[in-house]
Amino acid sequence: MQNSHPKITTFFMFSGQAEEAMQFYTSVFKPSDIISVLHQENGAVLHAVFTLKGQTFMAIDQNHQNKHPFTPALSLFVTCDSEVEIHRVFDQLSQEGRILMPLEASPVSQQFGWVEDKYGVSWQLNLAKS
């Protein structure tokens, strides 16, 4: 019998916006949920677990001065279920972020777009050809 917990989980390290980012992401993707949040005495996130479209993620607020920014060299590839969903998600994630590739048809996708959100996380959004 397979263990229901993933063996590899994406782990985000934010610079003080972990809880805000989790709330934003769980408002963008459905179904989603914040499973647990453990805070430090100063209110920063010590450890958190959340899900987006059934995928588990973890997050933390870094507690040192050295910032480690996210980079488009690593992105999250999201398979959207409908044209309505891909347009909504693209619009929400690109607010206060930047568009790396506009949402359009591609040789392998009905619609494809790539955005970097306001936290610096890169998202590739795909709607497969029917």
Res 63 pLDDT > 90: no
Instruction: Return the structure tokens found at 102.
Output: 């506009």
Q: Give rounded-to-5 percent helix, strand, coil for the chain.
A: 20, 45, 40
pLDDT tens, residue by residue, 66-118: 778 899 999 999 999 999 999 999 999 999 999 999 999 999 999 999 999 99
- What pTM did the predictor assign? 0.90
Gap between the Cα atoms of 37 and 62, Å rounded = 15
Gap between the Cα atoms of 83 and 73, Å rounded = 26
pLDDT tens, residue by residue, 17-30: 999 999 999 999 99
Res 65 pLDDT > 90: no
By the 8 A CB rule, do 78 and 125 touch? yes
